């Protein structure tokens, strides 16, 4: 089977030299991806398209699926190359390919020609269409909206019969634009934001700030590798992992509640900015959307950006959340994104919608700069293929759910167990109704950013249930404690 790859229209608007570079890049990318399916694949370049020649025994479904996920392709035509310019032989090929499809359906024959022939495009279309109209049961010709379109492209050497058409991804060939570093959290927003730049032809590297322990890391790595495998596997990219638990704990302890979210994101940008400069990556990418949460105002985004010398790009800034989720579904990551909680979203219960930059900078003086420097110095970075190998032996993603609808956990605390309220402002916040039912039990208040340092001092003969409003912070700390060998702690889900 042969395939004609039609280029994304914007490519054809470029200068001749730039168009040549883009088409060559796409040719290499296609060969890199498809050779994993068909080692004998051939990709030939023509002026405004590429022709893919697959071996007969190759998995044609897999080839079409892979082509549909390569940036820079507008559409894929499954074609039969006819080594003839004889209209009678063309008609024979059309009969074989489309005769069985015409029963009870409308059709149209469309012909494109390049070069000189003894017939015009209209002559050939009428000749073939008239024969089909007479020979097969059908509902007639419909030139505007045919149920069975029959297309032929005739050039100076041969005839191309289009048997099927498949949509492409669009965009620019990967590697034709500059690289970006995406701050990926594993949720819908950062995944779709990353995808927008893959489609735009950028190599997307990933920077993950680990707030939730090994289990959280597994989910985010699964997201990054899925995006890379599906859309970017023609190029090698890096995955950076930053342990940000100590930085977060310090922010929660020393920064006023309303400014915590902005300070956390400014701290993340400082690290990402350093990484971008170190690896000569000219832009950062985030998934923030204007007004999606109360802290994502223009004022706050401006204050966040001031922490980075590297430009910050937000491709989803004007998107609605349903559109983001729908795009995640279309690119095949929605189910995974739904299973990974957004830890950043649960940092501050009362975020300031319009922070004062001067106040934020003053608050940041209370932070120990050495902790951030240590996080920068301890960054782990991997080739994305090494991340894939690591995931093959990793434990399945469990226990990182953000439960928002009340229910009673099957593992109900007994009177000998202890419930720990980990909300930093627990003294000003009401308990959930289900929790008030068990208020006679032993209860303690330990802010979640102190749990890791204080849990070992508790009575280890008891079982502990950590509680917070959304279950995110408690899940994160339980994951950390399990990693440290404590098995007597669970999440209270309200």
Per-residue pLDDT of the chain (494 residues), as tens digits, is 899 999 998 888 899 899 999 999 999 999 999 999 999 999 999 878 899 999 999 999 999 999 999 999 999 999 999 999 999 999 999 999 999 999 999 999 999 999 899 999 999 999 999 999 999 999 999 999 999 999 999 998 899 999 999 999 999 999 999 999 999 999 999 999 999 999 999 999 999 999 877 778 999 999 999 999 999 999 999 999 999 988 988 898 899 989 999 999 999 999 999 999 999 999 999 999 999 887 899 999 999 999 999 999 999 999 999 999 999 999 999 999 998 866 665 566 678 999 999 999 999 999 999 999 999 999 999 999 999 999 988 765 554 433 333 333 445 566 678 888 888 766 556 666 666 665 555 788 888 778 888 999 999 999 998 888 766 678 778 877 888 889 899 887 65
Give me the pLDDT at residue 441, please. Answer: 58
pLDDT at 36: 96
Residues 137 and 243 in one domain: no
How far apart are alpha carbons 224 and 239 in whole angstroms?
8
Q: Which of 140, 170, 200 is the last residue of a domain?
A: 170
Q: Do residues 250 and 347 lie in contact, with contact meaning Cβ atoms separated by under 8 Å?
A: no
How far apart CA 339 and CA 328 sit, in angstroms, is: 13
Residues 368 and 445 in one domain: no
C-beta of residue 187 within 8 angstroms of C-beta of residue 319: no
DSSP labels, 155-217: -SS-EEEEEEEEEEEES--TTSS--EEEE--SSHHHHHHHHHHHHTT--EEEEEEESSHHHHH
Which pair of structure tokens corresponds to residue 282?
Answer: 């000219």
**Domain span holding position 453:** 418-492
- Asked if residue 401 belongs to a domain, the reply is no
The reply to whether 163 and 52 lie within a common domain is yes
Say yes or no: 124 and 217 in one domain: no
Residue 403 is predicted with a pLDDT of: 32
Angstrom distance (rounded) from CA 143 to CA 125: 11
Q: What H or E segment, with its residue span, contains residue 444?
A: strand 442-445
In 3D, which of 405, 462, 464 has the Cα closest to residue 434? 405
In a domain, 410, yes or no: no
Asked which of 374, 392, 410 is the last residue of a domain, the reply is 392
* C-alpha distances in Å from residue 76, one per residue of 65, 66, 257, 415: 10, 11, 53, 66
Query: What pLDDT was estimated at residue 329?
Result: 97
Residues 82, 161 within the same domain: yes
* Total domain count, the chain: 3
100 plus 124 within the same structural domain: yes
pLDDT value, residue 408? 39
Considering the domain architecture, whether residues 184 and 270 belong to the same structural domain is answered as yes
Q: Are 406 and 432 in contact (CB under 8 A)?
A: yes
Q: Looking at the structure, tell me whether residues 164 and 49 fall in a common domain.
A: yes
- Does residue 399 belong to any structural domain of this protein? no
Pairing relation of β-strands 464-467 and 418-421?
parallel
Same domain, 121 and 241: no
**CB distance 402 to 380 below 8 Å:** no
Tell me whether residue 353 is in a domain: yes
Q: What is the CATH number of the domain that holds 41?
A: 3.30.2130.30
Both tokens of residue 456? 């070992």
Whether 315 and 379 map to the same domain: the answer is yes
Active-site residues, by number, are: 468
Which of 148, 170, 192 terminates a domain? The answer is: 170
- ∠ CA 343-329-165, nearest 5°, is 150
| Token output for 305 | 């950006």
pLDDT at residue 189, rounded to an integer:
96
131 within 8 A of 91, measured Cβ to Cβ: yes
């Amino acid at each position: 089977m042969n395939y004609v790859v039609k280029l994304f229209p914007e490519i054809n608007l470029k200068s001749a030299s730039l168009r040549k570079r883009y088409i060559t890049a796409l040719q290499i990318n296609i060969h890199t991806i498809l050779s994993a399916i068909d080692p004998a694949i051939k990709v030939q370049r023509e002026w405004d398209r590429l022709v893919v020649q697959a071996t007969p025994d190759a998995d044609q479904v897999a080839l079409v699926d892979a082509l549909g996920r390569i940036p820079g392709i507008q559409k894929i035509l499954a074609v039969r190359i006819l080594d003839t310019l004889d209209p009678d032989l063309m008609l024979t090929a059309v009969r074989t390919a489309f005769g069985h499809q015409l029963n009870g359906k409308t059709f149209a024959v469309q012909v494109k020609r390049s070069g000189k022939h003894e017939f015009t495009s209209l002559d050939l279309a009428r000749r073939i269409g008239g024969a089909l109209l007479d020979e097969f049961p059908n509902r007639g010709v419909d030139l505007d909206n045919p149920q069975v379109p029959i297309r032929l492209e005739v050039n100076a050497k041969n005839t191309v019969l289009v048997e099927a058409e498949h949509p492409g991804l669009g965009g620019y060939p990967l590697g034709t634009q500059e690289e970006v570093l995406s701050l990926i959290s594993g949720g819908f927003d950062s995944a779709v934001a990353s995808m927008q730049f893959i489609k735009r032809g950028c190599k997307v590297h990933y920077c993950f700030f680990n707030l939730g322990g090994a289990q959280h890391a597994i989910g985010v790595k699964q997201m990054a590798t899925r995006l890379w495998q599906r859309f970017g596997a023609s190029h090698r990219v890096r995955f950076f992992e930053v342990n940000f638990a100590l930085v977060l704990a310090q922010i929660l302890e020393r920064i006023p509640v309303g400014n915590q979210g902005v300070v956390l994101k400014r701290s993340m940008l400082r690290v990402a900015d350093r990484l971008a400069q170190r690896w000569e990556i000219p832009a950062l990418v985030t998934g923030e959307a204007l007004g999606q949460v109360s802290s994502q105002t223009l004022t706050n985004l401006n204050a966040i950006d001031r922490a980075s010398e590297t430009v910050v790009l937000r491709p989803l800034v004007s998107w609605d959340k349903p559109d983001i989720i729908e795009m995640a579904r279309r690119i095949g990551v929605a189910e995974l994104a739904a299973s990974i909680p957004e830890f950043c979203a649960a940092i501050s219960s009362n975020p300031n919608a319009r922070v004062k930059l001067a106040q934020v900078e003053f608050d940041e003086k209370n932070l120990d700069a050495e902790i951030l420097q240590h996080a920068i110095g301890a960054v782990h970075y991997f080739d994305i293929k090494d991340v894939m190998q690591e995931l093959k032996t990793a434990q399945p993603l469990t226990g990182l759910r953000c439960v928002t609808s009340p229910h009673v956990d099957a593992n109900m605390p007994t009177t000998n167990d202890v419930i720990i309220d980990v909300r930093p402002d627990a003294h000003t916040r009401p308990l959930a109704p289900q929790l008030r039912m068990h208020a006679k039990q032993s209860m303690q208040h330990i802010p979640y950013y102190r749990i890791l340092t204080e849990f070992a001092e508790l009575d280890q003969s008891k079982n502990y249930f950590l509680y917070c409003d959304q279950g995110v912070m408690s899940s994160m700390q339980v994951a950390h404690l399990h990693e440290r060998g404590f098995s007597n702690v669970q999440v209270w889900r309200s």
